[in-house]
A and B are shown apart, each in its own frame.
Chain A
């Protein structure tokens, strides 16, 4: 006979405001099997937990029901308390009378009746709970980092420096990400390349970092501590072991007019190329779409001139399986493409700004390439249309960001600061030029940020106009900017030589499909969701997967680096243990009735179902049944829902328990 203890929590006033907790405790105390019931203001507090432990010892309680908040909040807390008092933790269940009751009802009488029923259901359920032993699984102490921008690089270096192997996967031919494209960085104006490239080299030279560039994550299986990641290493057409990076192939390639994506299509590159001279690895890649050899079968010049014989036109994509224990996602961002309305998107685009039509209307990243010493103009600010130096330049902030009517309501966070920086860079390079900035308001929280912004106005002579621009149009070789100055209340018209748009930061295109491969959640903009906005900002709700950088939300470099180091610390915490304790909520097959249709095996997302032969004592095969590997099972219950003969059940969530709950109603 079970001696169930029921502990009803007031949750301060969160529950007791709408639910008569004393009545709940009294009523459930009358249920068969309930030996003890009480209520307390904060059951999760030390005295609250003490109450449970004392009852277990003194009242010989065999099963515990805590009627309080969601099990997501405190199930672990109470199971630990129960364990400390000598009971198996899985003989403790929570009845959620906060989220499911007090928070969603107003009528005290009705809420109290409902609370009694919720607790009654859990009382019936807990009677059927079995003692479950904790399962331990080994931890593979290697980590995958997806994305080789500054966040991915920082996370990879931190984890590798802590002594663990790291697999870094980058989609582009070189690591570096957006930071490698920047000119100088706020608020100190140090050169981005100068602080970035040494870190890139550290990655390449690190004995514990395995770098896959020009590669993508194809497939992810497994769970925390034991992921199997399949990486697609795209055909580079250049043998990385043989290539010395001499660059002769790139010099000789006859195809030279391909717009260079790294330079925001301002410069050109050959068909065999490295994205930029400081690329890591410094191994070229053949752009098969534009290469004559791949288009017509003729040419082959690069192969002829390559001394070490590294060019390999036959190379194919390779699939490599890497076992890892943790995954850091650092896939970064794309800029809001305002030229056209993205397909199937709620985002409307900015046709009125003429981006894509007027050549001298550019976005902020393109301006970075113009201002960069390694850029297509060697660091001179020149107009893409005619190569002249712009004497009047207009910057427009919040293009896309904070524009609900255009589809994005969030602030991209970095634009106020980089626009202030742009005005300074412009002033340093064009001494007789004048910069204007249209802005809604300047958001400059951060160490030395506001000082930096004020400097752009007070010392670098940028003119800030509070208001938005309604239209841009070409007039001769000028661009007419029509806007309003709401501080003065007048219409403003500026004839500019160049216009720079601070376009919104968005997650990478395809971020949602990667999330589906990883099994992590994302918001309506495709930013990846953290497990808790405040207390678990770098962890995903999916155990063993961590977030770093802009893929989780707009961030500047210091924030991205901090988050990357935080994610690395989480990985190291995980790797500090040899064995991982996990909940024994796993599926179990009833072999007597299993007929081996393996519907469970087909639907198992974790590959946990195996085939098991049942033999008699003479060794004759009787039948083949399903077997769930408890080390691999994630306890999702899909097999239980699929099995036509109900021969597989999830411990802790058996049909018997569920039906007992329904029948208690």
Chain B
């Protein structure tokens, strides 16, 4: 049964974000703020970089503020001023990416002014951006969110999101796939990967894919076949999943932007589940110099070595 999700706090949150952006820009604390602004279509939102306090009124927060803005601090930072602190608006899920990037020496905490958003959820798709947020239209990642109130930010509006327990779709789908035989699972993924058109949207949107030259673009030697054919597709998606293991905190942007609807975040969540079970590790909660996959401990689980 479809139920509405209470997003009434978003207008108050919008005002609070505007006031904070106005303050930090006019006081000169930051040289720019990365946030969301209304786009052309009714109800839609798009990322924006503002550098003037007078532009603070452009900022909004709504259920269509789906983007993970962390990507604008790494590879998409063309519009970001080179000097000074940067303000950034983040949902709890986006904050985890910032934390991960700090652990990988890509960002410095002291160079950021983090504006956290109390978030009741965002839309799964922005094809109809003015659609109301309901238990049907909410993004799957929001159904298993554990970070509605971001922690450790410089500023968080005081509003409390109303949350309700929803069925965890990723967990259910992972359980379904785990119950299959390896051959059935392989058939499932083979079909999914066969859809891939190698547009690399998943790579471009991912805050952790920040390499200046992706190994998939190397041709001497060529590591991954570039044309969208089964072998190259599978190689790319395995590379992507493995490179994100222990790092991806589940913003699910890859899955959202995939034009072919490949359930990419499912792979990421499966990796995260393995990390949790083997090393009791969850990405994105604290800045760690070494994750479980880049360190060795005598107590590490070794049962997989046979």
Interface residues of A (CB under 8 A from B): 513, 516, 592-593, 595-599, 602-603, 624, 642, 644-647, 655-656, 658-660
Contact = CB atoms under 8 A, between A and B. Distances in A.
Contacts of A603: 294
B218 A646 contact: yes
B220 to A, nearest CB: 7
Nearest to B244: A644
Interface in B154-195: none
Given A644-B243, A645-B212, A646-B215, A602 B105 contact: no
Given A602-B290, A655-B221, A656-B220, A645 B105 contact: no
Contacts of A645: 211-215
A602 B212 contact: no
Contact of A644 (B215, B222, B289, B290): B215
Contacts of B225: none
B212 A595 contact: yes
Contact of A595 (B211, B220, B298): B211
27 contacts: A516-B298, A593-B211, A593-B213, A595-B106, A595-B210, A595-B211, A596-B106, A597-B104, A597-B105, A598-B105, A599-B104, A599-B294, A602-B289, A602-B290, A602-B295, A642-B294, A644-B211, A645-B211, A645-B213, A645-B214, A646-B218, A655-B221, A656-B220, A656-B221, A658-B221, A659-B222, A660-B221
A48 B218 CA distance: 42
A144 B295 CA distance: 27
Contacts of A660: 221
B104 A598 contact: yes
Given A603-B294, A624-B105, A646 B243 contact: no
A603 B106 CA distance: 18
B76 interface: no
Contacts, number: 48
Interface residues of B, number: 20
Contacts of A646: 215, 218, 223
Contacts of B243: 644
A30 to B, nearest CB: 25
For the complex of A and B, list the 8 residue pairs with the smallest distance between their C-beta atoms, beginning with the closest: A659-B221, A645-B211, A602-B294, A593-B213, A597-B104, A646-B215, A603-B294, A602-B290
Contacts of A595: 106, 210-212
Given A593-B212, A645-B212, 17 more contacts: A592-B212, A592-B213, A595-B106, A595-B212, A596-B106, A597-B104, A597-B105, A597-B210, A598-B104, A599-B294, A602-B294, A603-B294, A644-B211, A655-B223, A656-B220, A659-B222, A660-B221
A659 B104 CA distance: 29
Interface of B: 104-106, 210-215, 218, 220-223, 243, 289-290, 294-295, 298
A603 B227 CA distance: 33
A646 B215 CA distance: 6
A219 to B, nearest CB: 12
B177 to A, nearest CB: 26
B218 A597 contact: no
A599 B105 CA distance: 10
A645 B243 CA distance: 10
A334 to B, nearest CB: 20
B103 to A, nearest CB: 9
Nearest to B239: A644
Contacts of B294: 599, 602-603, 642
| Interface-centre pick from B210, B214, B289, B294 (highest chain A CB count, 10 A) | B294
A655 B222 CA distance: 10
Contacts of A642: 294
B221 to A, nearest CB: 4
A615 to B, nearest CB: 14
Nearest to A638: B294
Contacts of A647: 213
B123 to A, nearest CB: 31
Nearest to A624: B105
A345 B263 CA distance: 46
Contacts of A592: 212-213
Nearest to A623: B212
Nearest to A513: B298
Contacts of B212: 592-593, 595, 645
Nearest to B220: A656
B244 to A, nearest CB: 10
A354 to B, nearest CB: 36
Contacts of A516: 298
A437 B69 CA distance: 82
A153 B65 CA distance: 71
A596 B211 CA distance: 9
A513 B297 CA distance: 11
Contacts of B106: 595-597
Contacts of B223: 646, 655
Nearest to B209: A644
A640 B213 CA distance: 16
B129 to A, nearest CB: 34
A647 B213 CA distance: 9
A644 to B, nearest CB: 5
A85 B260 CA distance: 61
Nearest to A642: B294
B248 to A, nearest CB: 13
B130 to A, nearest CB: 39
